[in-house]
Amino acid sequence: MSTKKVAQKEYYDSYKDFDEIELGVGGNGKENEYRKRFLSRRAEKMAKIAGLEPDSTILEVGCGTGIYSTYWVKSSRKFYGLDISRGMLRRAATKIDSDKTLFVEADAEHLPFQDSSFNAVLSVNTIEHLDNLPLALKEMRRVCCDGGRIVLSVLNGNFSTKYRRKLMQVLNGFCGFYSLRSNDGRSCSVVCGSWSSS
């Protein structure tokens, strides 16, 4: 594991306030209702784009503390949440009590799953943190079944225009027109978007 990944893993393992920041919890200890609606809309839109069905097997890459996992586990037969941080996964496991859910500590660039394991691969605000995006996309494609979908969400308007352009060039260069084929001819759709809070 690279020095950067070790530092990233240690940072997120010890990041105790992640949910409070992500959910907009104020000094009164209450979650920000506006922020909760935003997260819910994003999760719903991504589920719709991914075509999630009750019999879907889903992988969330970079699931963190399970903020989005709680939405998507309801739309699945089997749900896998993957993150590099054991600390984040521990917090995710406290939110979801379901025998159809499995949390896995692993690297997005080396997914520990068999080929064609998932109907959908979802990821929120993760790909911009990866060292080797083309390798991670190749891995996501490998584990996504024929006709499946990979749906990626990146940061909204606060995200640097220069970095967004670079990211989209990588996605376009790797995926073509967001259709990704494996060496054996299997294809899936890749959708990458940004959802603003407005």
CATH number at residue 175: 3.40.50.150
Q: What is the mean pLDDT of residues 131-141?
A: 88
Instruction: Tell me, yes or no, whether 72 lies in a domain.
Output: yes
Strand 57-61 relative to strand 144-153, pairing: unpaired
User: Does 148 score more than 60 pLDDT?
Assistant: yes
Count of positions (residues) in the chain: 198
pLDDT at 132: 87
Using 50, 70 and 90 to split pLDDT, how confident is the model at 197? very low
Q: What is the mean pLDDT of residues 142-153?
A: 88
Instruction: Tell me, yes or no, whether 54 lies in a domain.
Output: yes
Instruction: Tell me, yes or no, whether 159 lies in a domain.
Output: yes
Please write the tens of the pLDDT for every residue from 158-187. 556 666 666 667 766 655 434 444 445 544
Using 50, 70 and 90 to split pLDDT, how confident is the model at 102? very high
Instruction: Tell me, yes or no, whether 62 lies in a domain.
Output: yes
Q: Which residue has the higher pLDDT, 80 or 34?
A: 80
Query: In terms of pTM, does the model score above 0.75?
Result: yes
Q: What is the mean pLDDT of the chain?
A: 79
Instruction: Tell me, yes or no, whether 76 lies in a domain.
Output: yes
Which residues have CB under 8 Å from 43's CB, separation 6+?
68, 71, 72
Using 50, 70 and 90 to split pLDDT, how confident is the model at 16? low
Number of domains in the chain: 1
DSSP string of 86-139, one letter each residue: HHHHHHHHHH---TTEEEEE--TTS--S-TT-EEEEEEES-GGG-S-HHHHHHH
Instruction: Tell me, yes or no, whether 198 lies in a domain.
Output: no
Query: Over pLDDT 90: what percentage of the chain?
Result: 34
Comparing 18-27, 75-84, 96-105, which segment has the lowest mean pLDDT?
Answer: 18-27
Quote the domain boundaries for residue 14.
3-193
Instruction: Tell me, yes or no, whether 148 lies in a domain.
Output: yes
Instruction: Tell me, yes or no, whether 50 lies in a domain.
Output: yes
pLDDT at 24: 61
Using 50, 70 and 90 to split pLDDT, how confident is the model at 25? low
